[in-house]
Amino acid sequence: MSNPYMTPRAILAGVLAVGLGGFLGSLLRVWLTQPGDRSHGVGFQTSSVLHMVPWSLLGVNALGVALAVYLLRRLFSHQSFLDPTRLFLVTGFLGGLTSYSGLLVSVYAIWQVRPSLAISVGLGAILSGVIAGRVALALAGRRS
């Protein structure tokens, strides 16, 4: 018995699904985290170091992780990891939305000014991902 996801057409569909999803997720992340536009994120107008923390990027990453965990536990729990819809939404779109490369650029910029704050932001990103994942797992488990 052959795997229907391993045909040349299915492989191409999977690659295109990940590519398109990643493109759209990355565009949304950039739009939501534009540093000069305070209408898309939390901005601190003080002289403290809080204005340096990429709050909107941390929020986007936490939301993306929560959505990915929820989708994988509820909607895609019985589908193949090669399913084109799963590849588009989770691997592509949410992978592009939660790109830690964007967070890495922000943390590096903070590191140049205050290394201890950069470490705190990095740990905050890890903690927000863990919390978002646990909340999504709790919500998914409650509805099972």
CB atoms < 10 A from the CB of 50, how many?
Answer: 13
What pLDDT was estimated at residue 104? 65
Most confident by average pLDDT, 26-30, 65-69, 122-126, 139-143: 26-30
- pLDDT above 50 (res 25): yes
Q: Find tokens 């305070």 and name the residue.
A: 38
Contact 58, 128 (CB under 8 A): yes
Contacts of 61 (CB under 8 A, 6+ apart): 98, 100, 103, 125, 128, 129
What pLDDT was estimated at residue 10? 87
- pLDDT above 80 (res 22): yes
Contacts of 59 (CB under 8 A, 6+ apart): 41, 42
Please name the amino acid found at residue 36. Answer: G
What is the tens place of the pLDDT at every residue in 83-133? Answer: 899 999 998 999 899 876 666 667 777 787 888 888 888 888 788 878 888
Q: How far apart are CA 72 and CA 49, in angstroms?
A: 37
Q: How far apart are CA 121 and CA 41, in angstroms?
A: 16
